[in-house]
Structure 1
């Protein structure tokens, strides 16, 4: 009965997926990319949970997660709001939404954590939410302030806006090493040449201001790795595997340069030999309330 009740009152979504932004997602929509997203979600789960809890996401709230991908942030929000709340995740990729729905079912959250396919500049829910959230999505929008301003219109007065984005130029290692430096350069150059923002973390206060929102509270946290057992090497290699078609298309790197099939092991060897500390880009969280 709970499922039928939620389905009956679920928000109606405009599924017109036409969009004013013709740029493809830089990392693609392959099965390998979906697995990379799940690994990323596991690695930064605690960092994102801290942002959502700090923002005030809690039991019984109605939450909209934009650019939800395979559902990591939606499922995290679903855990925080519980069965008395509701989470709706929206993504342009039907394949990603299929994965997210499967994961929600497997986690037992499918009664209150739901997903739909839609473009952020087109979909229009027929209900008001207590919060709009997102992770690593504003960096891919052609006008993030305008989109955020429109999305804030779906939030009740005094409701929450919370986003988490990367400050990619701050990634580094100590000591500096050739292969890691190349990987960092390939990633940043590919995303920049593809037309996306590599330092959305640093730009979050400006984006919030441009959306007409109060200045946000901020935090910054990151991941670091060392030694032979760190998952960071696989994460970096997986990111470049997903980026490779775009990297070649924009002239940032070639498959012959990356040698992606052996990249994780070569990064691991370099790090172990040089006793490196690899510091991934910090994730900047920003949250505020809509004007009451």
Structure 2
């Protein structure tokens, strides 16, 4: 599995910008009971871990990550006493079953998200919950419209090793993976000039930065020419309104 965004310092910054901009939208209802054991699968640089630990200070989190570089960043950044980090692959990780599992922005990068969910189901106690948060790049729309921006976004969709539109698939994926009690809620980000924090934190530093980050890969793959890609990035940065939808699923293991 290749992580299309890479592991450079700028990507670490982008992930933290994204997490900061979306805390309330994605996590206002992410709370775990005192004493519960929670597995965070694919914690990356710890961008979501910080919020998880703060929202549930009396729960115990085990946060696993495949990339040693990302894990090192997470260990340095997250100092909460209720978090333990481990370098591990979620497909081979072994542990006593957890009360809850949390997965955020991971399935979109996997070639077989169904297999990942089946594996995580095996790490969950009967009656425990799994929370999955994913984006959907096909949900992006903005004004003024720009064909060049659409083409630049499409480069990321084509380059991503998994499914950049996986958000819309969460319900059937989870049900098929053995979670018949699944509830999905859309979480739309809407941005205009009246929300300058989101213009900066989401439109520019999260979404536009994410697309800009695949420039060299897109050019090397021959998906687009440099002028067209750069025009798309310029148009994205100049949008007057911008919308994107995330999907949050909570499912119970029967």
Same fold (TM over 0.5): yes
From 88, 112, 115, the equivalent of 2:85 is 115
In structure 2, the CA distance between the partners of 1:253 and 1:30, relative to structure 1 (3 Å rule), is farther
Q: Which residue of 2 aligns with 1:87?
A: 61
- Whether 2:40 is the aligned partner of 1:65: answer yes
Are 1:87 and 1:112, in contact at CA under 8 Å, matched by a contact in 2? yes
Aligned-residue offset at 1:116: 1.8
Q: Whole-Å Cα distance in 2 between the matches of residues 121 and 254 of structure 1?
A: 37
Aligned-residue offset at 1:25: 0.6
- Whether 2:28 is the aligned partner of 1:50: answer yes
Decide which structure has greater strand share: 2
Q: Which residue of 1 aligns with 2:149?
A: 183
Are 1:26 and 1:191, in contact at CA under 8 Å, matched by a contact in 2? no
Aligned-residue offset at 1:285: 0.5
Aligned-residue offset at 1:51: 4.7
RMSD over aligned Cα atoms? 2.3
Q: Whole-Å Cα distance in 1 between the matches of residues 150 and 44 of structure 2?
A: 23
- Whether 2:118 is the aligned partner of 1:149: answer yes
Are 1:63 and 1:133, in contact at CA under 8 Å, matched by a contact in 2? yes
In structure 2, the CA distance between the partners of 1:254 and 1:64, relative to structure 1 (3 Å rule), is farther
From 84, 102, 105, the equivalent of 1:136 is 105
Moved more, 186-195 or 138-147: 186-195
Unaligned runs of 5+ in 2: none
Are 1:136 and 1:165, in contact at CA under 8 Å, matched by a contact in 2? yes
In structure 2, the CA distance between the partners of 1:98 and 1:221, relative to structure 1 (3 Å rule), is same
From 17, 32, 37, the equivalent of 2:10 is 32
Q: Whole-Å Cα distance in 1 between the matches of residues 51 and 111 of structure 2?
A: 27
Are 1:63 and 1:77, in contact at CA under 8 Å, matched by a contact in 2? no
Are 2:26 and 2:187, in contact at CA under 8 Å, matched by a contact in 1? no
From 220, 229, 242, the equivalent of 1:278 is 242
Highest Rg: 1 or 2? 1
Q: TM-score, normalised by structure 1?
A: 0.77
Q: Whole-Å Cα distance in 2 between the matches of residues 236 and 248 of structure 1?
A: 19
Are 1:60 and 1:81, in contact at CA under 8 Å, matched by a contact in 2? no
Runs of at least 4 residues of structure 1 off by over 3 A? 253-260
Are 2:66 and 2:88, in contact at CA under 8 Å, matched by a contact in 1? yes
Aligned-residue offset at 1:267: 4.2
Q: Whole-Å Cα distance in 2 between the matches of residues 118 and 245 of structure 1?
A: 30
Are 2:91 and 2:116, in contact at CA under 8 Å, matched by a contact in 1? yes
Q: Which residue of 2 aligns with 1:251?
A: 222
Q: Whole-Å Cα distance in 1 between the matches of residues 13 and 128 of structure 2?
A: 33
Q: Whole-Å Cα distance in 1 between the matches of residues 36 and 55 of structure 2?
A: 9
Q: How big is each residue's C-alpha offset from its partner over 1:102-155, in whole Å with a ceiling of 9 and x where there is no partner?
A: 1112xxx0x211222222222222x22111111111111121112111111111
Moved more, 113-122 or 127-136: 113-122
Aligned-residue offset at 1:194: 3.7
SS in 1 for 2:6: coil
Are 2:2 and 2:161, in contact at CA under 8 Å, matched by a contact in 1? no
Aligned-residue offset at 1:59: 2.7
- Whether 2:99 is the aligned partner of 1:124: answer no
The 5 Å alignment of 1:191-230 reads 191-227=157-193, 229=196, 230=199
Aligned-residue offset at 1:289: 1.0
